[in-house]
């Protein structure tokens, strides 16, 4: 067992429900069983670069398992190897990893638990290669990290999106409209597929299955002509037509991935109206999917992840990410976890089940 006297925790990337549950399940046993000092880095890797840290007490981490967001703050623009710095010429992206490493040394940390998604795990991998003791905990509502069956945050986002579709059913039925709902997920369609299937969406459009406009138009028109007085279209933000490109809302050079997706819902809504004459409305869920309290499933998963991360740190198994395999939480090398994004297989049982009940994917 490795001596753990000073443990750091940070939350990187976008927020999601369950982050505080992980912080709690690392900090409380670290204090109780190791007598360790637990230090929280403020605002993710941005705080690591800028040297912002504070000691956490048992009071800080009590009663937070049900809270959304993160008590430490987070940032998706704080990659130390791709860090935006204000200069006389304006904002320049620089490699500030040495500043981050010096702060790590100055704080005399025995381990750092980094909670985040794909971008965070890439940073963890780089610091591990440089000899720093990092453990990764996978979180993302997008559920797109490979080497784990599921990430915490996904179930909570799925619950929000499904409830939204349920609510749209009533207004779509009352007004006999086509209702388009755009959900998050980036380059993976897990949220759209899961919520669309659970909410009974008639059309589900995901990045993994490029769609044809005519197929979508024909499907909603056929429903309309055969007594289906409304249709629900659930579209992932990364969905794209077979003959088109991703719809990009903006590009931000300060981010490691500069592309900010968004707008496909408006495009689908407009195209359906123009091609079919059916009255169409669009709802973009946006950050509603990231907020609020975590579901019981995510609270439990996050707690299991955090306690396993502390165990790995105590065993000196750095450079690993905790992972759910079946019902067990196990360690996997971070390098293995970042080899590829976890996207929806075309032959996924979720896809086959949706097709079986008549869902259109536009292909």
Query: pLDDT tens for residues 188-202?
Result: 999 999 999 999 999
One domain, residues 182 and 280: yes
One domain, residues 139 and 176: no
Residue 171, domain member (yes or no) = yes
Catalytic residue list: 142
Residue-wise pLDDT tens digits, 49-82:
999 999 999 999 999 999 999 999 998 888 999 9
Residue-wise pLDDT tens digits, 174-189:
778 899 999 999 999 9
User: Is the confidence at residue 281, as pLDDT, over 60?
Assistant: yes
Lowest mean pLDDT among 91-105, 150-164, 241-255: 241-255
One domain, residues 29 and 133: yes
pLDDT band, very low/low/confident/very high, at 275 (cuts 50, 70, 90): very high
pTM as predicted: 0.92
Residues whose CB falls within 8 Å of the CB of residue 73, separated by 6 or more in sequence, listed in order: 11, 42, 43, 44, 47
Q: What is the pLDDT of residue 253?
A: 63
Q: What is the pLDDT of residue 256?
A: 63
Q: Give the domain CATH number at 255.
A: 3.40.50.460
pLDDT band, very low/low/confident/very high, at 2 (cuts 50, 70, 90): low
Number of domains in the chain: 2
Helix, strand, coil % (nearest 5) of the chain? 40, 25, 40
Within the chain, residue ranges assigned H as helices are: 19-34, 44-50, 97-106, 118-129, 154-175, 190-199, 213-225, 264-276, 296-314, 334-337, 349-356
Q: Residue 269's closest CA among 202, 226, 218, 217?
A: 217
One domain, residues 285 and 307: no
Domain extent for 212: 154-291+345-356
Strand order in the sheet with 320-325: 53-56, 37-41, 6-11, 111-116, 134-138, 320-325, 328-333
Residue 46, domain member (yes or no) = yes
Residue 140, domain member (yes or no) = yes
Residues whose CB falls within 8 Å of the CB of residue 172, separated by 6 or more in sequence, listed in order: 178, 179, 230, 231, 232
Percent with pLDDT over 70 in the chain: 98
One domain, residues 174 and 303: no
Task: Give the residues across from 256 on adjacent strands.
Answer: none
User: Is the confidence at residue 137, as pLDDT, over 60?
Assistant: yes
One domain, residues 144 and 247: no
Please provide the DSSP assignment of 112-154 as one string. Answer: EEEEESHHHHHHHHHHHHTT--EEEEEB-TT--BTTSS--BTH
One domain, residues 147 and 279: no
Count of alpha carbons within 13 Å of 252, Cβ hemisphere only? 13
Give me the chain's average pLDDT, please: 93
User: Is the confidence at residue 227, as pLDDT, over 80?
Assistant: no
Residue-wise pLDDT tens digits, 15-34:
999 999 999 999 999 999 99
Say whether 312 sits in a helix, a strand or coil.
Answer: helix
One domain, residues 85 and 233: no
Residue-wise pLDDT tens digits, 335-349:
999 999 999 998 999
């Amino acid at each position: 067992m490795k001596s753990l006297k000073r443990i750091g925790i940070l939350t990187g990337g976008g927020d999601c429900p369950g982050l505080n549950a992980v912080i709690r399940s690392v900090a409380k046993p670290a204090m109780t069983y190791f007598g360790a000092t637990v230090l929280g880095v403020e605002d993710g890797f941005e705080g690591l670069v800028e040297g912002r840290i504070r000691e956490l007490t048992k009071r800080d981490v009590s009663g937070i398992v049900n809270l959304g967001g993160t008590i430490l703050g987070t940032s998706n623009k704080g990659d130390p190897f791709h860090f935006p710095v204000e200069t006389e010429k304006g904002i320049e992206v620089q490699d500030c990893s040495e500043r981050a490493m010096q702060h790590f040394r100055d704080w005399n940390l025995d381990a750092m638990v980094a909670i985040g998604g794909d971008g965070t795990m890439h940073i963890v991998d780089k610091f591990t290669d440089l000899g720093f003791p990092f453990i990764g905990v996978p979180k993302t509502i997008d559920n797109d990290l490979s080497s784990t069956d599921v990430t915490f945050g996904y179930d909570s986002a799925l619950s929000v999106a499904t409830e939204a579709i349920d609510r749209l059913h009533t207004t779509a039925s009352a007004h006999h409209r086509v209702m388009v709902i755009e959900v998050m997920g980036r380059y993976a369609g897990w949220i759209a597929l899961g919520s669309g299937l659970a909410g009974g969406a008639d059309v589900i459009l995901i990045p993994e299955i490029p769609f044809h406009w005519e197929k979508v138009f024909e499907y909603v028109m056929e429903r309309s002509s055969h007594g289906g007085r409304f249709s629900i279209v659930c579209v992932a933000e990364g969905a794209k037509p077979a003959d088109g490109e991703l719809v990009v809302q903006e590009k931000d050079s300060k981010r490691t991935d500069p592309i900010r997706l968004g707008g496909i819902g408006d495009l689908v809504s407009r195209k359906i109206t123009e091609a079919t004459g059916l009255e169409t409305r669009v709802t973009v869920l946006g950050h509603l999917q990231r907020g609020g309290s975590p579901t019981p499933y995510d609270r439990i998963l996050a707690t299991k992840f955090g306690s396993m991360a502390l165990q790995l740190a105590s065993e000196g198994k750095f450079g690993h990410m905790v992972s759910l395999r079946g019902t067990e939480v196990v360690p996997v090398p971070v390098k293995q976890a970042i080899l590829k994004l976890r996207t929806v297989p075309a032959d996924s049982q979720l896809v086959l089940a949706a097709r079986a009940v008549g869902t259109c994917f536009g292909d």
